[in-house]
Amino acid sequence: MNALLLDAAQRASDYLDSMATRDVVPSPAAVERLKSLDVPLPEHPQDPQMVLRQLDEIGSPATAASTGGRFFGFVIGGALPVSVASNWLTTAWDQNAALHGPTPGVAAFEHAALRWLLEILDLPRDAAGAFVTGATQANLCGLAAARHAVLKNTGWDVEADGLFGAPPITVLVSAEAHPTLFKSLGVLGLGRNRVVRVGTDAQGRMRPELLPAMTGPTILCLQAGNINTGAFDPIGQLCKAAHAAGAWVHVDGAFGLWAAAAPALRHLAPGLAMADSWATDAHKWLNVPYDSGLAFVRDGASLRAAMSVTAAYLPPNPGSRSPSDFTPELSRRARGVDVWAVLSALGRSGVAGMIERCCGHARRFAAGLSEAGFAILNDVVLNQVLVSFGDAEMTRRVITELQADGTCWCGVTEWQGHTAMRISVSSWATTEADVELSLAAMLSVAARCGAQGGAAA
Ligand SMILES: *Cc1c(COP(=O)(O)O)cnc(C)c1O
């Protein structure tokens, strides 16, 4: 047992050391080698150490180096070493984090993490929280609490009686809402398409003057951090209008919510704490391993009513918070322990420094590409940069070539009619040297493709 775990630790450590020098994408040979998995189920037991060796030899080379410093696709984030280590130890504990009673240890760590999160994000200190798999699920939690509350106001018990025959709920979303928000709305029976889309400005921020009059049960979904531009909806202003009409405001802040933890960026989200529920990811910008999303709900009773396995009318017992009263899952791993470990290791200044450093790197990318004559399509207020290398075809060609080059990885996006390369800087591991190396690769690939600096297509 011991030898196996030590072997795994050594292999993991070697893997992470390789990040500095290996290509960001797996080689074609490594991908080809995955075909060796196409064998029948073993008839008999095999040596576990041999199994681990196979996993490392076949699996490790076939990974994307997304935990390294030069992966800038999808707002991925890496995993801080302390969070990888805490993740291993928590896995060894193998606790079921559903209930407080049998597993008081992990419940207490998660409760402490929640308290710190509310502090560092400056959200209402008595808000309820849930440690879930990601922001999609965190949005679902916030919206389930919202659904409960706005229908309760009309005298309807949605958990008991469902949505058939219930008063209709108006759902307002930004025209720029993240695609996963619609998935959460669909799962909750609120419909992917029966939403009202509110128009946005040139940075993708919701325009308050386009907000329709709100009557009856209403949920307004806002965004802290547009997935393309990083821009924030004017949250405080919209909250005032929504609350005057009795509406619930939910904020999808999968990565942008972390701006609240950084003094230099906090100004981007004035009034953030006025909302009713918030969703974010720890596996993105807090740099803990997958899967780690976070939901916060000001009125904890609404989240509890939506998620509790026991009767919704049971009073909350702050002395023994049972996590599963707030999550869609019953049994689950104690993923909040990794959040605790990172917050403990970095502290307030360490988290702020990590977030601000990523934004500085994004500004450097924008400056370097702009100096070379390429159009930056967004105001670089956060960690997101949209760059055009000419017309759509040329931009796509540069992205394809850059991905094949292997120095760094960026994806393609469509932004308000333009095709762009999106650079998301969200890893603790990205250094200035990584940025310069990646920038040089972008410029040389663009030159090789014949891209000329010029206006956006
Ligand atoms: C990533 C993201 C999501 C989905 O988060 P998952 O953790 O992948 O479920 C939702 N909204 C925004 C703005 C995101 O960036």
Q: Is the model's pLDDT at 56 over the cut of 50?
A: yes
Mean pLDDT of 20-48: 95
Percentage with pLDDT > 90 across the chain:
92
CA distance 76 to 429: 12
User: Sign of the C-alpha dihedral, residues 156, 157, 158, 162?
Assistant: negative
Question: Which residue has a Cα nearest atom 5 of ligand 1?
Answer: 135
Work out which ligand 1 atom sits closest to the CA atom of 136.
9
Domains and CATH numbers, the chain: 85-341 (3.40.640.10)
CA distance 19 to 340: 25
Q: Which residues of 260-270 are buried (b: 16+ CB within 10 A; e: fewer)?
A: bbbeebeebbe
Q: What is the pTM of this model?
A: 0.96
Q: Is the model's pLDDT at 453 over the cut of 90?
A: no
Pairing type for strands 196-198 and 170-174 reads parallel
Mean of pLDDT over the chain: 95
Of 252, 258, 285, 384, the residue with max ligand 1 atoms within 8 A of its CB, to mutate for a pocket test, comes to: 252
pLDDT, position 101: 83
Q: Is the model's pLDDT at 455 over the cut of 50?
A: no
Question: Which residue has a Cα nearest atom 1 of ligand 1?
Answer: 254
Q: From the CB of 232, is ligand 1 less than 6 Å away?
A: no
What's the 127 CA to ligand 1 centre distance in angstroms? 21
Chain segment 98-142, per-residue pLDDT in tens:
888 888 999 999 999 999 999 999 999 999 999 999 999 999 999
For residue 244, the one-letter residue type is A
Mean pLDDT of 329-339: 95
- Pure H helices in 167-248: 179-187, 235-244
Work out which ligand 1 atom sits closest to the CA atom of 256.
13
Torsion of CA 449, 450, 456, 457, to 10 degrees: -80
Is 400 in a helix, a strand, or coil? helix
Give me the residue label for tokens 């999609």: 136
Q: Is the model's pLDDT at 456 over the cut of 50?
A: no
pLDDT, position 322: 82
pLDDT, position 66: 93
pLDDT, position 452: 85
CA distance 343 to 377: 34
434 touches 69 (CB < 8 A): yes
Q: Which residues of 139-170 are buried (b: 16+ CB within 10 A; e: fewer)?
A: bbbbbbbbbbbbbbeeebebbeeebeebeebb
| Residue 144, both tokens | 């389930």
Mean pLDDT of 377-406: 97
Chain segment 281-297, per-residue pLDDT in tens:
999 999 999 999 999 99
Measured between alpha carbons, how far is residue 92 from residues 48, 157, 329 in Å?
A: 16, 41, 21
Q: From the CB of 426, is ligand 1 less than 6 Å away?
A: no
Mean pLDDT of 228-232: 97
Mind giving me the DSSP string for 256-314? GGGGGG-TTTGGGSTTGGGSSEEEEESSSTT---SS-EEEEESSHHHHHHHH-SS-TTS
Q: From the CB of 351, is ligand 1 less than 6 Å away?
A: no
pLDDT, position 15: 97
pLDDT, position 311: 52
Of 131, 235, 281, 413, the residue with max ligand 1 atoms within 8 A of its CB, to mutate for a pocket test, comes to: 281
